[in-house]
Structure 1
Amino acid sequence: MAAAEDVVVLIIGAGPAGLATAACKARWRVPYVVVERESCSASLWRQHTYDRLKLHLGKEFCELPHMAYPAGMPTYVPRKRFIEYLDGYGERFGIRPRYRTTVESVVYDGGRKRWAVSAWDVATNSEVKFVVQFLVVATGENSVTNIPPVPSLTGFAGETIHSSAYKSGRCYAGKSMLVIGAGNSGMEIAYDLATHGANTSIVVRRPEIFHNFEWSTDSWKATLI
């Protein structure tokens, strides 16, 4: 078994947060290693997002450190162009994640004041160990699919799909669709289904109020839909 690798900063995850952390370390010449279980950076954006997705906040709130968006980027950046931005970001700061490396255990050694990290390298089919001074967990809040238990769902004859597997409403035209949840993805997927001709309904577990705001020079006017 190979000896454990001494690492100053170990970053788990090569999504936007992991890339941003790596860029800041590179800028200040702090040694670091990025490990990523998938075969690419920003895997959630590449593999588990729907076609019409855009950033839900204006671009000025979503830039990564030390690199602005290219000129002409729309206020709400589309999925494809955001991925291009992330690729350019990684190239600019020379970020080279170790892909297909899955962290399996993390233990803090109080005596040595170091993290003992064990990972599995799929490419070489071997265990990799790190002794780490600073550990950054940048795995994302949406990295694990969550489907709550719903009575009788297993007996439902129609198709069920989680938002992470949804791509487009094109194949659902003319069908009756029910979207559960009114978060960002739920609302946008419901809109996408409706615009592609699906008979779309949406349910939430608590009362929600939707407002249509009209700007005037005197005040905001809210009209309940």
Structure 2
Amino acid sequence: MDNKPAQERRETWVPGAVIVGAGPSGLAAAACLAARGVPATVLERSDSLASTWRHRMYDRLALHLPKRFCELPLLPFPEEYPTYPSKDQFVAYMEAYAAAAGVAPRFGATVEEAAFDAAVGAWRVRLDGGEVLMARWLVVATGENAEPRVPDFPGMQKFAGCAMHTSEYKSGEQFAGKKVLVVGCGNSGMEVSLDLCRHGAKPSMVVRNTVHVLPREMFGLSTFGIAMALLRWLPIQLVDRFLLTAAHLILGNTGQFGLRRPKTGPIELKNLTGRTPVLDVGTLDHIKSGKIKVVGAVKEMTRQGVRFTDGKEEQFDTIILATGYRSNVPSWLKDAGDLFTREGISKVPFPNSWRGRNGLYTVGFTQRGLLGTSSDALNVAKDIHCQWRERDRSAINVLEISNSSF
């Protein structure tokens, strides 16, 4: 812990909670606390709220789930929004959400370290400029997707073409006529491949492992909505069996196109590993037609392209890494106790992953998207509010005792 005098550390006690992150998780936590009369200081390292959505997502992105499953507590999406709002519409919703709740984050505030000080019973949150904020409660809301996950392929420095992560990709327009390798077959990899195809590029998509591909809608209804409804009455295994049977009827045998399914069903696999099934928005048709080529795992990069694990080599103009994101929590949070793994993922399964020890809370680490975020935010606000009220009652009792002595 920093041993400099308090004057040099510029320590400031802040009322209520310190929330790290001004994405959906941080805004939801702040809004729910504000609704209960508990103040919060929201710290955001970038220059805007919802910065990941604003700056790191591709242009064609829309929510993969219907908006009713993605709205945050206390404010629904506008009625005029489509069922699957676009990226820009979601950012606008976030701005309206913050304004409605009166949440004003501190932008450009990068947290270098947060550690619990047992001597004073508070969290010390040190910013990159040296300022130290002290608060009774700390809410970690930086999320599971704070930093791009970039694999270090052998020969990566040799590649003469353009290599980028999907966080840098905006549109396939600039890749028209070019051979592009997309590394990864999750929702981002599938959708980037589709976008490239629609802009006249020649995409190949790396599929290393098994993957569940489901239609985004079944029989005119949201696949996710159907699954949630069935889970109220049926065990996971039966719901998975229904989803896979329906998916086979609608999509056919995906295995014959290089998209082999895992032995474990999609919902059970999500609960066990966090792996999200792909909700198809048109990519599969282009794979079936041959416009998107499915290839195996990459062994190494070469000057002109890549060498695959089967020994084949192929030339590419561009390589796009759809390899996901990772948590940055281990780089700044100390004294996390039993709440986080060394990779910054919650150790505690949903729905009890939101509370740690010594006033430490998390929002958005459930691997359950915006639904999990909403659940966390409501729970965190309720729990902190109970302690906040207890503090007020204690202050009133002290005042009454003090007054009675005169």
Equivalent positions of 1:78-117 (< 5 A) are 78-117=86-125
Q: Deviations over 1:148-169 (max 9, x none)?
A: 1101121111111100000000
1:104 positional shift:
0.8
1:82 and 1:170 map into 2 onto residues whose CA distance is: 23
- Any gaps of 5 or more consecutive residues in structure 1? 121-125
Q: CA deviation digits over 1:27-63, x for unaligned, max 9?
A: 0110110011111101111111100001111111100
Give the Cα–Cα distance (whole angstroms) in 1 for the partners of residues 112 and 15 of structure 2.
17
Aligned letter for 2:20?
A: I
Q: Which residue of 1 aligns with 2:53?
A: 45
Give ranges in structure 2 of 5+ residues lacking alignment.
1-7, 221-244, 255-406
SS in 2 for 1:154: coil
TM-score, L = length of structure 2? 0.51
Amino acid at match of 2:90: F
Given that residues 104 and 118 in structure 1 are in contact (C-alpha distance below 8 angstroms), is that contact kept between their aligned partners in structure 2?
A: yes
**Aligned counterpart for 2:25 among listed residues 6, 10, 17:** 17
CA distance in 2, matches of 1:20, 1:152: 43
Return closer, same or farther for 1:104/1:7 CA change in 2, 3 Å cut-off: farther
Is the 8 Å Cα contact of residues 12 and 36 (structure 1) preserved in structure 2? yes
State whether structure 2 residue 42 is matched by structure 1 residue 34.
Answer: yes
Q: CA deviation at 1:215?
A: 4.2
- Structure 1 residue 75 corresponds to structure 2 residue 83: yes
Q: How much has 1:16 moved relative to structure 2? A: 0.6
What is the one-letter code of the residue matched to 1:46? R
| Displacement of 1:209 | 5.5
- Cα displacement string for residues 109-157 of structure 1 (whole angstroms, at most 9, x for unaligned residues): 223321111113xxxxx42211111101111211111111101121111
User: Which of the residues 174, 181, 185 maps onto 1:182?
Assistant: 185
Please name the residue that 2:209 is paired with.
Answer: 206
In structure 2, what is the equivalent of residue 164 of structure 1? 167
Counterpart check, 1:134 vs 2:142: no
Q: CA–CA distance in 1 between the matches of 2:132 and 2:163?
A: 40
Change (3 A) 1:168 1:111: same
Deviation at 1:207, TM superposition (A): 3.1
Deviation at 1:210, TM superposition (A): 4.1
The answer to which structure has the higher helix fraction is 2
- TM-score by length of structure 1 reads 0.91
Number of the residue aligned with 1:123: none
How far, CA to CA, are the matches of 2:77 and 2:95 in structure 1? 12
Question: Contact (CA 8 Å) 1:172, 1:198: kept in 2 or not?
Answer: yes
Higher strand share: 1
Q: Which stretch of structure 1 is more off in the superposition, 132-141 or 169-178?
A: 132-141
Query: For the residues of structure 2 that align with 1:55 and 1:25, how far apart are their CA atoms?
Result: 26
- Structure 2 equivalent of residue 8 of structure 1: 16
Fraction of identical pairs, as percent: 41
Task: Give the aligned partner of residue 65 of structure 1.
Answer: 73
1:197 equivalent to 2:200? Answer yes
CA distance in 1: counterparts of 2:134 and 2:50, whole angstroms? 25
The 8 Å contact of residues 46 and 83 in structure 1, kept in 2 or not, is answered as yes
Q: Distance in 2 between matches of 1:209 and 1:102?
A: 38
Task: Note closer, same or farther for the CA distance 1:101–1:214 as it changes in structure 2 (3 Å cut).
Answer: closer
Q: Is the 8 A contact 2:54 2:91 kept in 1?
A: yes
Two-structure CA RMSD over aligned residues (Å): 1.8
| CA–CA distance in structure 1, aligned partners of residues 41 and 168 of structure 2 | 30
Output aligned runs, 1:137-148, within 5 Å: 137-148=140-151
Cα gap change, 1:6 to 1:211, in 2 (>3 Å): closer
Q: 1:211 to 1:106 in 2, by over 3 A?
A: closer
Could you tell me how far apart the structure 1 residues matched to 2:11 and 2:149 are? 37
Contact 2:11/2:134, CA 8 A, preserved across alignment: no
The answer to whether the Cα contact below 8 Å between 2:14 and 2:41 also exists between their aligned partners in 1 is no
1:214 and 1:43 map into 2 onto residues whose CA distance is 33
Residues 17, 41 of structure 2: 8 Å contact kept: yes
| Residue identity opposite 1:145 in structure 2 | P
